[in-house]
Amino acid sequence: MTYKLSFRIRKIYFVQIVAGTKTIEVRAQKPFWILRVGRAVQQLLWGNPVICTFVCGKEIHRRYLDRIEYYETAAGALGRPPSEQGLKDIGEGPVFGFHLGEVVS
């Protein structure tokens, strides 16, 4: 069984993920993501692949998920303060860091 997560993202981040320079996607710890993270972690523990689908307009890119980690802040996940836009998108508080792996062929 393959579990899939879908992310709508801005073009600037989409380009970085496709290029492989952005290896973590961050989402605020909200009920929507808590449910999905629980299911994804379960699949990873069972040894099943989890695929992250990134959607930007009509463009789609898929990567395998290596792991999910919990962080107190977006800055902790990113290793730097989030951009102004990132702060607007994510807000302050705890986040999930989706660590991306290889491109899905």
- On average, the pLDDT of the chain sits at 95
In the structure, what pLDDT confidence band is assigned to residue 86 with cuts at 50, 70 and 90?
A: confident
Q: Is the pTM of this model over 0.85?
A: yes
What mean pLDDT comes out for the span 6-27?
97
Three-state DSSP class for 81?
coil
Name the H helices within the chain.
Answer: 11-19, 31-45, 74-78, 84-90
CA nearest to 3, candidates 39, 68, 65, 50: 50
Which residues, in sequence order, are CB contacts of 84 under 8 Å at separation 6+?
none
What mean pLDDT comes out for the span 40-59?
97
Amino acid at 103: V
What mean pLDDT comes out for the span 69-78?
95
In the structure, what pLDDT confidence band is assigned to residue 81 with cuts at 50, 70 and 90?
A: very high
What domains, with CATH codes, occur in the chain?
3-103 (2.30.130.30)
Three-state DSSP class for 1?
coil
Q: With 90 as the cut, is the pLDDT of residue 66 above it?
A: yes
Q: With 90 as the cut, is the pLDDT of residue 34 above it?
A: yes
Which residues, in sequence order, are CB contacts of 31 under 8 Å at separation 6+?
none
Task: Specify the residue for token string 């991306």.
Answer: 100
What pLDDT does 1 receive?
Answer: 78
Q: Helices H, strands E: what count in the chain? A: 4, 5
